[in-house]
Amino acid sequence: MGSMLDTQQLAVLLKERRGDRGLRDIAQEIGNVSPATLSRIENGKMLDVETFLRLCDWLEVNPQHFIKEAQRDMLNSQALRYRIEGGQRLEGSVVVQGAKNAALPIIAASLLVSKGQTILRNVPLIRDVYAAIELARSLGVKMTLHEEDQVLVVDASNLNVSTLAERLTSSFRASVLFLAPVLQRVGNVAIETVGGCSLGKRSLDFHYRGFARLGATVSEQGENIDVSREGPLQGNYLYLDTPSHTGTENLMVAACMAQGTTIIENAALEPEIADVANFLNLMGARISGIGTGVLQIEGVSELSGVEYTIMPDRIDAGTFAMLAAATQGDIELIGAQLRHFGVARAKLEQMGVELQQEGPVIRVRRPSTLRPINITTWPYPGFATDLQPQMMALACCASGTSYIRETVFNKRFAAAQELNRMGAQIGLDGEAAVVKGPTAFVGATVEALDLRAGMALVLAGAVAEGETIIENASMIERGCSAVIRRFTQLGLTISEEREKTGVLL
Ligand code: EPU
Task: Name residues whose C-beta falls within 8 Å of residue 493's C-beta, 6 or more positions apart in sequence.
Answer: 8, 11, 43, 44, 84, 85, 88
The rounded Å distance from CA 426 to ligand 1 centre is 25
Q: What percent of the chain has pLDDT over 90?
A: 78
Distance CA 74, CA 76 (A): 5
Residue 71 has pLDDT above 60, yes or no: no
Report CA(9)–ligand 1 centroid distance (Å): 39
Contact residues for 239 (Cβ-Cβ < 8 A; gap 6+): 264, 265, 266
Confidence of residue 2 (pLDDT cuts 50, 70, 90): very low
pLDDT at 1 over 50: no
Three-point CA angle 392, 398, 400, nearest 5°: 105
142 has pLDDT over 70: yes
Mean local confidence (pLDDT), 303-311: 98
Atom of ligand 1 nearest to the CA of 176: 32
- pLDDT at position 234 over 50: yes
The answer to whether the peptide bond before residue 105 is cis (omega within 30 degrees of 0) is no
Residue 72 has pLDDT above 70, yes or no: no
* Least confident interval from 43-57, 117-131, 156-170, 318-332: 43-57
Ligand 1 pocket, Cβ-based, cut-off 6 angstroms: 100-101, 104, 173-174, 197, 201-207, 242, 244-247, 385-386, 408-409, 451-452, 479
| pLDDT over 90 at 41, yes or no | no
Q: For residue 196, report the distance from its CA to the centre of ligand 1, in Å.
A: 10
The confidence band for 80, taking pLDDT boundaries of 50, 70 and 90, is: very high
Computed on alpha carbons and rounded to an integer, the radius of gyration of the chain in Å comes to: 24
Q: Which of 171, 202, 266, 478 to mutate to test the pocket of ligand 1 (most atoms within 8 A of CB)?
A: 202
Rounded to two decimals, the pTM is 0.87
User: What mean pLDDT is predicted for residues 152-162?
Assistant: 97
pLDDT score at 70 = 44
| Span from the CA of 174 to the centroid of ligand 1 (angstroms) | 10
Contact 280, 297 (CB under 8 A): no
Q: Would the pLDDT of 291 be above 50?
A: yes
Q: Which atom of ligand 1 is nearest to the CA of 268?
A: 20
Phi then psi for 280, rounded to 5 degrees? -60, -45
Q: Ligand 1: which atom is nearest the Cα of residue 379?
A: 38
Q: How confident is the model at residue 505 (pLDDT cuts 50, 70, 90)?
A: very low
Centre of ligand 1 to C-alpha 315, Å, is 14
SS3 content of the chain, % helix, strand, coil (to 5): 40, 25, 35
Atom of ligand 1 nearest to the CA of 208: 8
Count of CB atoms situated within 10 Å of the CB of 288: 12
pLDDT, position 66:
76
- Out of 246, 390, 391, mutate this one to test ligand 1's pocket (max ligand atoms within 8 Å of CB): namely 246
Going from the Cα of 345 to the center of ligand 1, the distance in angstroms, rounded, reads 22
Residue 137 reports pLDDT greater than 70: yes
197 is catalytic: yes
- Which amino acid is present at 366? R
Q: Nearest C-alpha to atom 13 of ligand 1 is from which residue?
A: 408
Counting atoms of ligand 1 from 1, which one is nearest the CA of 100? Answer: 41
Pick the catalytic residue: 197, 256, 396, 480? 197
pLDDT in tens, 395-411: 999 999 999 999 999 88
Q: Report which of residues 415 and 57 the model is more confident about.
A: 415
Q: Residue 67: its pLDDT value, please? A: 66
Q: Whose CA is nearest to atom 37 of ligand 1?
A: 245
Q: Nearest-CA neighbor of 165 among 137, 191, 187?
A: 191
> Which stretch of DSSP H or E encloses residue 420?
helix 414-421
How many angstroms separate the CA atoms of 215 and 228, rounded? 9
Protein residue with its CA nearest to atom 33 in ligand 1: 101
Q: Is the pLDDT of residue 69 over 80?
A: no
According to the 3-state scheme, what is the secondary structure of 356-382?
EEECCEEEEECCCCCCCCEEEECCCCC
| Tens-place pLDDT, residues 441-483 | 999 999 999 999 999 999 999 999 999 999 999 999 999 999 9
- Examine the pLDDT at 177 and tell me if it is beyond 60: yes
Residue whose CA is at the smallest distance from ligand 1 atom 20: 244
Beta bridge partners of 434: 403, 427
* Contact (Cβ atoms closer than 8 angstroms) between residue 243 and residue 268: yes
Decide the pairing of beta strands 432-437 and 3-5: unpaired
Give the span between the Cα atoms of 24 and 29, in whole angstroms.
9
pLDDT of residue 504: 40
Tally Cβ neighbours within 10 Å of residue 419.
28
Overall residue count recorded for the chain in this entry:
505
Residue whose CA is closest, atom 39 of ligand 1?
101
Cβ proximity of 361 and 332 under 8 Å: yes
Q: Give the ligand 1 atom nearest the CA of 272.
A: 39
Q: Closest Cα to atom 40, ligand 1: which residue?
A: 386
What separation in Å is there between the alpha carbon of 171 and the centre of ligand 1?
Answer: 16
Per-residue pLDDT for 425 more than 50?
yes
pLDDT at residue number 195: 67
First to last CA, the chain: 19
Tell me what percent of the residues of the chain surpass a pLDDT of 70.
Answer: 94
Q: Minimal CA–CA distance to 362: which of 387, 391, 385, 330? A: 330
Bigger pLDDT: 258 vs 36: 258
Containing 425, the helix (H) or strand (E) segment is strand 425-429
Do the Cβ atoms of 406 and 200 come closer than 8 Å?
no
Q: Which amino acid makes up residue 278?
A: N
